[in-house]
Amino acid sequence: MSAVLLLVLALLLAGCGGEGSGGARWTAPELEDPETIRLGTGPTVTRLDPGRDYVVELPEQTKRGATVLVGGRNVVIDGGSIAVRPTADGDERRRALYIKDARGTVHVEDVRIDGSGAPSDGVAISAPDAVVQLQDLAVEDLRGSVSGWHADIVQPWGGVRELRIDRLRGSSNYQGLFLRPDLGEIGRVVLSRVDLRLTDEPTDGGGHLLWLATGCDAPEVTLEDVRLSADDGRPAEQLVWPQPDDPKCPARAAGGRLSWPGLPVNGTVTAGAR
């Protein structure tokens, strides 16, 4: 093979990365004179200057306890693991990662969250002025109940300007992505390569892995390769809200996929794990 053909082949192979073949979709924001903060191995509440950029580093070993970030402009977390402690108490400490009052773009990548220690959320957001990017995350073994902590994999309950999620694997016995905008304004949501599983641990309610709306009030959502499954074999129609029997904005089930023609939701959800 000639040198020219080899060069062409190399360029083609280099261009085969990206969203369709496993490459990262979102890039971290450019940081201006960032401060680096190294967190300890226990629970932390870190208050950041809303006009400054930060690199937040998780410890090399598993961080046991909540990671609460309050404020900051552009913030980057790249790598690490967090485990919920059995002795967690208080609302802020019942969330493995809590992003609050940021002003720019918060980028979280390559983080593993173990929720088996106590009922808790995986990622909670109350940052109506921020773009939050969650990429290459695993949020697993969350436990909750309708009478106790609801255990959402991701919940922007306090609002977010834009939520971007790519390559998320999550499991919970209660709830997955809780995107009701009536709890806090949600500007836009993009979900790509998301795999959510309902575990069969007993609970007294829940079971919704993708909650998009209250009535017909929903944020603008884009769905790309989003998959839902349940250990107990229940169909995907029972893992979402609104469901096909909703009287106002029902889901439409066809060919193992779900869509919402009455909502500002583009794309479909597929039944079954990848």
Nearest to 56 by CA among 108, 92, 11: 108
pTM of the model: 0.90
Question: What band does 94 get if pLDDT is binned at 50, 70 and 90?
Answer: confident
pLDDT in tens, 147-184: 888 889 999 999 999 999 999 999 999 999 999 988 88
Residue 12: pLDDT over 60: no
111, 96, 198: which is closest to 154 by C-alpha?
96
Per-residue model confidence (pLDDT) at position 22:
63
Q: Region 94-121: what's the mean pLDDT?
A: 94
Convert the pLDDT of each residue in 25-74 to its tens digit.
999 999 999 999 999 999 999 999 999 999 999 999 999 999 999 999 99
Q: What is the pLDDT of residues 189-229, one digit of tens each?
A: 999 999 999 998 877 778 899 999 989 999 999 999 999 99
Q: Is the confidence at residue 19, as pLDDT, over 50?
A: no
DSSP E strands in 54-187: the ranges are 54-57, 63-64, 67-71, 75-83, 95-100, 105-114, 121-142, 154-155, 160-172, 175-178
Q: In the predicted model, what is the mean pLDDT of residues 91-106?
A: 90
Say which residue, 22 or 119, is predicted with more confidence. 119
Cis bond upstream, residue 242 (ω within 30): yes
109 Cβ contact partners less than 8 Å away, ≥ 6 residues apart: 24, 28, 76, 77, 78, 79, 133, 134, 135, 136, 137
Torsion of the alpha carbons at 145, 80, 64 and 48, rounded to the nearest 10: -90
The mean pLDDT of the chain is 90
- The pLDDT of residue 101 is 97
Q: Could you give the residue ranges of the DSSP H alpha helices within 141-186? A: none
